[in-house]
Chains A and B, each alone.
Chain A
Amino acid sequence: MDKIIIPKPKRFKRNLIILSVIFLIVGSGWFAGFNIFEVLTHLYKGGRLLGRMFFPPDFSYIPNIVAPMIETIRMAIVGTAVGAVVALPVAVLAANNFIKTKWLHVPLRVVLNIFRTIPALVLASLFVAVFGSGAFSGVIALSIFTFGLVSKLTYETIEAVDYGQVEALMSLGANKLNVLRYAIMPQIMPQYMSYTLYGFEVNVRAAAVLGYVGAGGIGQIYETNLAWRQFDRVGMIIIFTFFIVLIIDLVSSSIRKRLV
C-alpha cells in the first residue's frame, strides 16, 4: 500500500515562535531559581502542613470565624455598591460612541487602566497607611478596584450597543439625556448588573485576604493564627470561606444567568 504523503506546510515561523516561548519559560525558571527536583523531594513537607491544616480542622473555632466573615461580606457589599454606582456615569463618559469628545474619554481610560493595574492588596495597604487599619480602608480599596473593573466592562458594552435605537430617537429630536435614558440604558442595564455581580464575587474573594495588610475582614484572623502557627484553625477558616464563597457564587451566577 502506498503511503499517503501530506506535504508539510512551512513551519519555520511557527517553530521560531515555539522556540522563543520555550526560551522565555526556561529562562525565567532559571532566573527565579526554580528547581523541579528540589520541589519534588521536599513535597512531603507541604503535605505535612496541609495535614496539620485539614486533618482535622479545628471545628471548635467556627464561632470565632462568623463575625469576621460577616464583616468580610459587608465590606464586599459596600465596596461593590460604591464602586459600581460611580462606575456607571464614568463608563458613559469613557465610551467613545456616546460622547465624541476625544479629550475626555482618552485620559479617562488611562486613569481607569491605572486603577485596574494596581492589585487590591497594594491599594489596601496604601489606604491602611493613610486612614488607619480597619474595614474602612478595605472598603475604599475594594470600591476603587470594583470601579476600575465594572467601568471598563461597561464602557465596552456601551460601545457595542445597537446604534439603530439611538439614531431612531435622535431622528425624533430627542436630546442626549433622552437618548441615554431610553436607548442606551435599557440596552446595557442587564450587562451592567451582571458585571456588578461578577465584581461582587471577585470582591468576596479579595476581601477575604485584605485583612492580611490590616484592612479588616477575615484576613486578620488568618494573620494572627498563622503567626501563632495554629494551622488547624487556618484550615477551618479556609473550609468555612470555601462554603461561603461557594454559596455566594451559586446565588450570584444563577441571578446573572437570568439577567443576560
Chain B
Amino acid sequence: MEKIIIKKQGNHFQTAMKILYYIIVFGLIFWGTKGIEYKGVMKTAAGTLEALLNGFINPDLSYASNMTIDGLPFAILETIAIAICGTFVSAIISIPFALLASQNIVGQKVSKIGKLIVTMIRTFPELILALVFISVVGPGAPAGILALGVHSIGMLAKLFSEAIESMDLGVKEALESCGGNYFEVLFRAILPQVSPELISYTLYRFEINMRAASTLGLVGAGGIGAPLIFAIRTRSWSRAGIIIIVLIATVTIIDQISGRIRKRIV
C-alpha cells in the first residue's frame, strides 16, 4: 500500500517563525528551571509524607463533631458566610464600576480609566487587602468579607462591563428618547437586560470566593484558614486531614449547586 503523503503547507518563513517560537518557549522554561533551587528532598520528607497520609486516613473526627465555636462546623459555616457576604458586597459595588468601564455607557475615554481602575483592584493581593481591613474592623470574619468584597470587584466589574458592552442598545435609546432619566434608564433598560449574565458571573465568583475565603484565615481574617494553617504548622496531620477533607467536600457541593443554577439561568 502506498503511503499517503500530505504536502506541508506554509513557506520557509513560517517554519522559521515556528522554530523561533519553540526556541523562545523552551529558553524561557530553561531559564525558569535554573532559578529554582533544588535543595534536595529533606531527609524527613518521607516520614512527613507518611505522617501526612496517615492523618488523611485517620482524620480527627472529634473535631468535625465539635459543635462549639472552636469546632469545624462553625469554621466551615463562617467560611461560607464570608464567601456569600463578600460576593454580595462586591456584586453591588461592581455595578457602578462596570458602568464606568463600559464603552457604550460612558464613552471611550472614561471607560479606559474605568478599566484601568478595575485592573488595579484585581492586582491588589487579597491577603494585603485583608490586612488593610483588619486595621479597620480588627481581626475576624468582617475583615475577610470586606477583603473579598473589594478584591472581587476586579473580576466582576470586568465581566459585568463586557456583558454591558455586548448588550442591545435599542432599549436604552428607546427609554432615553421617551425622556427617561439616568436612573430609569439604568434600572429599566440596562440592568434587566444583563441581569442573567450578572447573576451567573456573581455565582461563578462565589465559587472562587469559597476557595479564597478558606485561605484568608492565614492573616487572621476569619474562616477555616486559621485552624488549617495552625494544624499544618504544628503538624497535627489528623486535624489538617479532616479540615481538608471537609473543605473539599463543601467546595465540591457548592460548585455543583452553583453550576446547576448557572446552567439554568443562562
Binding site for B on A (CB under 8 A): 24-25, 27-29, 31-35, 38-39, 42-43, 45-46, 48-50, 70-71, 73-75, 77-78, 81, 113-114, 117-119, 121-122, 125-126, 129-132, 134-136, 139, 205, 208-209, 212-213, 222, 226, 234, 238, 241-242, 245-246, 249
B131 contacts partner chain A, Cβ-Cβ < 8 Å = yes
Q: Please, how many residues of chain B have a CB less than 8 angstroms from a CB on the other chain? A: 64
Q: Taking CB as reference atom, which chain A residue is nearest B135?
A: A49
**Would you call A117 and B136 a contact (CB within 8 A)?**
no
- Point out the residues of chain A lying under 8 angstroms from B232, CB to CB: 122, 125-126, 129
**Would you call A39 and B137 a contact (CB within 8 A)?**
yes
Chain A binding surface SS class? helix
**Would you call B119 and A246 a contact (CB within 8 A)?**
yes
Bound CA span A121–B12, Å: 46
- Point out the residues of chain B lying under 8 angstroms from A139, CB to CB: 36
Given A33-B140, A130-B48, residue A213 in contact with residue B42 (CB < 8 A) = no
Q: Taking CB as reference atom, which chain B residue is nearest A132?
A: B42
Q: A213-B218, A226-B131 are in contact. List 19 more A-B contacts (CB 8 A).
A: A31-B77, A32-B78, A32-B142, A32-B144, A33-B140, A38-B137, A39-B137, A70-B35, A73-B32, A74-B36, A77-B29, A117-B248, A129-B232, A134-B37, A205-B125, A209-B127, A212-B218, A234-B128, A241-B123
* Most chain A CB inside 10 Å of its own CB: which residue of B78, B120, B124, B136: B136
A-B contact number at CB 8 A = 159
**Would you call B123 and A205 a contact (CB within 8 A)?**
yes
Point out the residue from B136, B235, B244, B248 that lies within 8 Å of A45, measured CB to CB.
B136
- Point out the residues of chain A lying under 8 angstroms from B38, CB to CB: 136
- Point out the residues of chain A lying under 8 angstroms from B39, CB to CB: 132, 134, 136
Bound CA span A27–B82, Å: 11
Chain B 212-266 residues near chain A, CB threshold 8 A = 212, 214-215, 218-219, 222, 228-229, 232-233, 235, 240, 244, 247-248, 251-252, 255
**Would you call A135 and B35 a contact (CB within 8 A)?**
yes
**Would you call B215 and A119 a contact (CB within 8 A)?**
yes
Report the 9 A-B pairs with minimum CB-CB distance, sorted nearest first.
A28-B81, A77-B32, A32-B141, A74-B35, A46-B136, A74-B32, A32-B81, A28-B84, A78-B32
- Point out the residues of chain A lying under 8 angstroms from B153, CB to CB: none
Bound CA span A222–B125, Å: 11
Given A28-B84, A32-B81, A135-B36, residue A118 in contact with residue B125 (CB < 8 A) = no
Bound CA span A49–B146, Å: 15
- Point out the residues of chain B lying under 8 angstroms from A126, CB to CB: 52, 232, 240
Bound CA span A49–B131, Å: 9
**Would you call B142 and A119 a contact (CB within 8 A)?**
no
**Would you call A242 and B120 a contact (CB within 8 A)?**
yes
Q: Taking CB as reference atom, which chain B residue is nearest A24?
A: B84
- Point out the residues of chain A lying under 8 angstroms from B141, CB to CB: 32-34
- Point out the residues of chain B lying under 8 angstroms from A35, CB to CB: 142
